[in-house]
Amino acid sequence: MTDDWRLGGFGLYVHWPFCQAKCPYCDFNSHVTARIDQVRWRNALLSELDRVAAQTPDRLLNSIFFGGGTPSLMEPETVAEIIERACQHWTPANDIEITLEANPGSVEAGRFQGYRDGGVNRVSMGVQALNDADLRRLGRLHTVAEAQAAFDVARACFDRVSFDLIYARQDQSLAEWRTELGTALDMAIDHLSLYQLTIEDGTAFGDRFAAGKLRGLPDDDLSADMYELTQELCEARGLPMYEVSNHARPGAESRHNLIYWQAGDYVGIGPGAHGRVTINGKRFATESTRAPGAWLAGVDAGSGETLRTQLSGLERAEEYLMMGLRLRRGLDVSRYETLAGQPLPEQPRKKLVDLGMINDTGSEIVVQKQGFMVLNAVISEFLAS
């Protein structure tokens, strides 16, 4: 149990909290600011990296992920230095995956070569929609043409390029989504993230929704139809889902995200970054200060971390269940039971099998197609008992 994290691997997450504009649907820790002192930020991130690395020596590093915010606003030198320092602290795996999230704008495209030279080997682009009107509604600054141009630059620089789309948008019909997804699949190389629009509290969309002013959102039935259609089309084009919202050619799954879903260890640096680290057999959940200024001040004073909670065996098991059931490959029952120190409850297993939501082989719980659509309810069945 002490080395359980090895089953999921080990990764580094770097959070860059700045954006050129705040998107109305986004509830990530992102901020818009006039000027960024790149040198100060670089030094602060490196200092945090040194701090967390000292607590997790002798690890094999499977992945680095630059997320945000908009990490493609980072100077390539900053990215390169962080990668270099990480590879000094830990041994990089032979197949290490180093991903950077990028906005599909022309400015970013100009930096792609620099990121590649610094060690980035995969980009994930926030294309979001293939329709200019909807891009504006989503508050995006780029156009479809710019996104496609940036995408072409990216695929010239990197072997692995993924992009995100948001669907189940306002006033989107099933037929429109079919067409748009078809175009996306024509572009796709080996990986696609397809998210249904979620209205989060504390966002501009959230406020508008609460005021009853966000019209044209699909009802449950339409969004369920869209989800089903998405699975069908992606499967047919060789990009089957491997996680609720993620699709890849076999072997091209995001290694970094698999660390999360398989309950591996990850250190998180940067404002608001979370981590899960196993130290001397105990697993901790860590959180960093969210506000960029306060985080910098914290780092200057020795640490950007604000919270470190030890997780009990059952909590670890429940996290593994919550995350693991999102994967098509399913949940390893004996791993759950080792962590929890108790058997996976029989009653929800039986009920969910009867309802056709899961397949239970005894050693594995594999969520079925209709189970993925109501995964929160499936997970609740396990957690409630």
Partner 1 sequence: MTPLSHIRNFSIVAHIDHGKSTLADRLIQETNTVSLREMKEQMLDSMDIERERGITIKAQTVRINYTADNGEDYVLNLIDTPGHVDFAYEVSRSMRAVEGSLLVVDSTQGVEAQTLANVYQAIDADHEIVPVLNKIDLPATDCDRVAEQIEDVIGIDASGAIRVSAKTGVGIHETLEAIVHHLPAPKGDRDAPLKAMLVDSWYDSYLGVIVLVRIMDGVLKKGDRVRMMQNGSVHHVDRIGVFRPAMTTVDELGPGEIGFLTASIKQVRDTRVGDTITHEKNGCAKALPGFKPAQPVVFCGLFPVDSAEFEDLRDAIEKLALNDASFSFEMETSAALGFGFRCGFLGLLHLEVVRDRIEREYDIDLITTAPSVVYHVYMRDGEMTELHNPADMPDLTHVDHLEEPRIKATILVPDDYLGDVLKLCQDRRGIQLDLTYAGSRAMVVYDLPLNEVVFDFYDRLKSVTKGYASFDYQLTEYRQDNLVKMSILVNDEPVDALSMMVHRDRAEARGRAMVEKLKDLIPRHMFKIPIQAAIGGKVIARETLSAMRKDVTAKCYGGDATRKKKLLEKQKKGKKRMRQFGKVDIPQEAFISALKMDS
* Residues near partner 1, by CB under 8 A: 13, 195-198, 220-221, 223-224, 227, 244-245, 257, 260-261, 266, 268, 272-276, 285, 287, 318-319, 322-323, 326, 351, 355, 357, 372-380, 383-384
User: Measured from the CB of residue 369, what is the shortest distance to partner 1 in angstroms?
Assistant: 12
Nearer to partner 1, 78 or 286 (CB): 286
Nearer to partner 1, 112 or 382 (CB): 382
Residues whose CB is less than 8 angstroms from the CB of residue 254 and which lie 6 or more positions away in sequence, other chains included: 97, 99, 122, 124, 162, 191, 246, 248
User: Measured from the CB of residue 113, what is the shortest distance to partner 1 in angstroms?
Assistant: 28
Determine the 3-state secondary structure of 380 from DSSP. Answer: helix
Cα dihedral sign, 195-200-383-340: positive
**244 DSSP assignment:** T
User: Measured from the CB of residue 163, what is the shortest distance to partner 1 in angstroms?
Assistant: 15
Nearer to partner 1, 55 or 380 (CB): 380
Containing 243, the helix (H) or strand (E) segment is strand 241-243
Q: Are 305 and 287 in contact (CB under 8 A)?
A: yes
Q: Distance between CA atoms of 99 and 120, rounded to whole angstroms?
A: 6
Nearer to partner 1, 199 or 204 (CB): 199
User: Measured from the CB of residue 13, what is the shortest distance to partner 1 in angstroms?
Assistant: 6
Nearer to partner 1, 76 or 270 (CB): 270
Q: Distance between CA atoms of 192 and 174, rounded to whole angstroms?
A: 19
Q: How many CA atoms are closer than 13 Å to the CA of 21, on its beta-carbon side?
A: 12
User: Where are the extended beta strands (E) located within 33-102?
Assistant: 60-68, 91-102
Q: How many CB atoms lie within 10 A of CB 88?
A: 12
Nearer to partner 1, 117 or 201 (CB): 201
User: Measured from the CB of residue 29, what is the shortest distance to partner 1 in angstroms?
Assistant: 8
With tokens 């058997």, the residue in question is: 343
User: Measured from the CB of residue 355, what is the shortest distance to partner 1 in angstroms?
Assistant: 5
Structure tokens at 25: 């649907």
